[in-house]
Structure 1
Amino acid sequence: MRPERLTSRFAPSPTGVLHLGHVAHALWTWGVAGALGGRVLVRMEDHDRGRSRPEYERQILDDLEWLGFAPEPESVRSLWGRPSPWRQSDCEDVYLAAAARLRDAGLVYGCDCTRSTIARELGDGLVEGEELRYPGTCRSRGLEPGPGVGLRVRLDPAAEEFDDLRLGVQSQRPSEQCGDLLIRDRSGNWTYQFAVTVDDFRHGVNLVVRGEDLLSSTGRQLALAHLLGRAVPPRYVHHPILRNEAGMKLG
């Protein structure tokens, strides 16, 4: 049987123009995909509806062409029109269907907690500089969906292991890192973790190239993908982040 061709993606958020950090990431994405005989799709992750702008999206596409990066034509052509399956804001029905699948499996519950609420709940267990771990406050409250109520997915305590092509074997336990995963926030926006997992599954992305700053997201996305029915996980490469002289991430 012929092996499946590797498919990666370049998926910026159109909240501004491309910067050097984006360019470095594009070099890694096209470089790794090309070395492995794969292809690269382009996707607009405009889940942040408040800051995303159509003019930024158009500029990003123009800049990619000017820089010589060539995404698969199917995704680029689609993004020049509306609606597009490669633009998150045009895919509400897709995310609703994915959330319904999780809800029908008894995995989704309403949550109205804010970051400050979670911090208070953690109390002495809150470690400065570490990610807020949701303690399950709303698991048994039975909150109905509505204004001011987000959605979370129950995560079991299992560890997720994956072999990063650059960093080697990694093991993460999402239930201990972040707790039950927020998939829709209290304002009604689908979260990055949820949208990117659904999109990678439906777009057939089986090679994820991204910065090391997103390494901690991988375990929870693998757990969520499994709950959504993805049998074969993607391959991963987490690359170094471009930083300035002060050590701050560019972009």
Structure 2
Amino acid sequence: MRGRFAPSPTGYIHLGNVWTAFLAWLQVRQQKGTLILRIEDIDEQRSKPEYTQALLEDLAWLGLDWDEGPGKGGPYGPYIQQERYSLYEKALQELQAKHLLYPCYCSRARLQAIGAPHEGEHHLYDGHCYGMPEEQRRQMDRKPSWRVHVPHVSVSFTDGSYGPFSDYLPRVCGDFVVRRADGLYAYQLAVAVDDGSMGITHVLRGRDLLSSTAQQIWLMEVLGYTPPSYTHVPMLIDASGNRLSKRQQGITVRSLRDRGVQADAILSALALAGGLVSERRLYHKGELLRLCNFQTMTTHDIVLGDTWLDELIHA
């Protein structure tokens, strides 16, 4: 087993990040596999080196160690996305050679105007620029983004938490961007290349990314990689139903540590809230590794209200 935790250094990590990191660590350690830490910093405007350093410190304080990644090295590096751009460019060239890429000149205003026809549906691209004549392209006065043209196929997979899926690509993702107009690589391309080239066999991540799994599997297969097995886990939400955010400073690891909360107390409280253990008490990391049971983990989003946080802080 080769699993990974792949955070973005756009702020200090919070309980939502810890929840995913803990479960990824737990899955790999229980199977005596290899855990990779990958820094996903292709969002160059929001990613900061100081957040990367803080992330490494916070994970170390929590005791969530990794086997390959920053500070460790390994045979599949580099482990920081901004150092992997040559791999993404090579992937784009492969997609171009397969006649799957095309430039998209649509403005942000036009893309927003397309909208989603019904509440809760994806904002799918309508293929406006697909098949545009070369002469018309030469007349465009703006830099294009680059989209991959998806075929009329369904991708089937079985999620470790939510069971079997069969997603029809034109309906779940449509033709999606792999390189933005400003030259930055898109997440879907980077994650497919990284998971494939690093030999990741198991991906555990938040349920919010479940809807993009089919397109990533398809893209990995097109690029010649073997897709991993996926397990999506419930999100941590506040009492109002909003997912936890880095903007909520009170729930960062640093804030909790400054208030005297122990690392084991954080992990114990999350394990209990997620249904991995049944007894409310302080577990040491070795106990969590031995006792946590993925089979009993809830599939519903987990509410962490003010009472929950107060109990954690004053435990």
- TM, length-normalised to structure 1: 0.89
User: What is the aligned partner in structure 2 of residue 105 from structure 1?
Assistant: 98
1:249 to 243, 254, 263: 243
Are the counterparts in 1 of residues 114 and 123 from structure 2 also a CA contact under 8 Å? no
1:95 to 78, 83, 88: 88
Counting aligned pairs with the same residue, the percent is 37
Alignment of 1:60 with 2:51, yes or no, is: no
- SS of corresponding position for 1:77: coil
1:201 to 192, 196, 202: 196
Higher mean alpha-carbon deviation, 34-43 vs 153-162, is at: 34-43
Alignment of 1:128-167 (within 5 A): 128-141=119-132, 142=134, 143=137, 148-167=143-162
Deviation of 1:174 after TM superposition, in Å, equals 2.1
Structure of greater Rg: 2
Deviation of 1:233 after TM superposition, in Å, equals 1.8
C-alpha distance in structure 2 between counterparts of 1:16 and 1:106, whole Å: 38
Alignment of 1:161-180 (within 5 A): 161-180=156-175
| Equivalent AA in structure 2 for residue 95 of structure 1 | Y
C-alpha distance in structure 1 between counterparts of 2:50 and 2:57, whole Å: 11
C-alpha distance in structure 2 between counterparts of 1:128 and 1:236, whole Å: 27
Alignment of 1:70 with 2:61, yes or no, is: no
Are the counterparts in 2 of residues 119 and 126 from structure 1 also a CA contact under 8 Å? no
C-alpha distance in structure 2 between counterparts of 1:39 and 1:126, whole Å: 44
Number of residue pairs the alignment of both structures matches? 238
C-alpha distance in structure 2 between counterparts of 1:174 and 1:36, whole Å: 33
User: What is the aligned partner in structure 2 of residue 33 from structure 1?
Assistant: 28
Deviation of 1:119 after TM superposition, in Å, equals 4.2
| Equivalent AA in structure 2 for residue 138 of structure 1 | C
- TM, length-normalised to structure 2: 0.71
C-alpha distance in structure 2 between counterparts of 1:88 and 1:114, whole Å: 27
Are the counterparts in 2 of residues 147 and 187 from structure 1 also a CA contact under 8 Å? no
User: What is the aligned partner in structure 2 of residue 3 from structure 1?
Assistant: none
Alignment of 1:15 with 2:10, yes or no, is: yes
Q: Which runs of 5+ in 1 are unaligned?
A: 1-5
Q: Which runs of 5+ in 2 are unaligned?
A: 246-315
